[in-house]
């Protein structure tokens, strides 16, 4: 069965650079959630989209932005990267017929 695809799996960037993380949901999943998980921490909600519209917003820095496209994939854009942005970034996708999150394998971002 198709799963949630995140790309890239690993990313190394320097401070003040920009990064773009992508999430491709399971077919017919119209909802995407983004989470940030720092080392040794629990995942923290960043932002979500339903039917290409932002549906909820968490503790997402102003330096970050995201959108969901017509094919339902989502991109998280991160600018002016800081060392503290180093983390594992997950996306999770749903549709209204399911009651569990389907997680991607995550993108490990390292800022040096």
Partner 1 sequence: AQTVTQSQPEMSVQEAETVTLSCTYDTSENNYYLFWYKQPPSRQMILVIRQEAYKQQNATENRFSVNFQKAAKSFSLKISDSQLGDTAMYFCAFMSAGGTSYGKLTFGQGTILTVHP
User: Site residues (CB under 8 A) for partner 1?
Assistant: 31, 33, 35, 37, 41-45, 48, 55-56, 58, 88, 90, 92, 94, 99-101, 103, 105-106, 108
23 touches 35 (CB < 8 A): no
Q: How far is the CB of 102 from partner 1 (least distance, A)?
A: 9
Q: For partner 1, which is the closer residue by CB, 41 or 110?
A: 41
Half-sphere exposure of 71 (CA within 13 A, CB side): 7
Q: Which is nearer to partner 1, 17 or 58 (CB)?
A: 58
Answer yes or no: are the C-beta atoms of 66 and 77 closer than 8 Å: yes
Nearer to partner 1, 7 or 37 (CB): 37
Helix (H, G, I), strand (E, B) or coil at 18: coil
The three-state secondary structure class of 85 is helix
Of 33 and 72, the one with the shorter C-beta distance to partner 1 is 33
Closest contact distance (angstroms) between CB of 16 and partner 1 is 26
Shortest spacing between CB 25 and partner 1, in angstroms: 12
């Amino acid at each position: 069965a198709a799963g949630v695809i995140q790309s890239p799996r690993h990313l190394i960037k320097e401070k003040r650079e920009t990064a773009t993380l992508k999430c491709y949901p399971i077919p017919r999943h119209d909802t995407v959630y983004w989470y940030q998980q720092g080392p040794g921490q629990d995942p923290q909600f960043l932002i979500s989209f339903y039917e290409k519209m932002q549906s909820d917003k968490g503790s997402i820095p102003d330096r970050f932005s995201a959108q969901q496209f017509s094919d339902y994939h989502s991109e998280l854009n991160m600018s002016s990267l800081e060392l503290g942005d180093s983390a594992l970034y997950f996306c999770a996708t749903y549709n209204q017929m399911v009651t569990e999150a389907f997680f991607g394998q995550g993108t490990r971002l390292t800022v040096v």
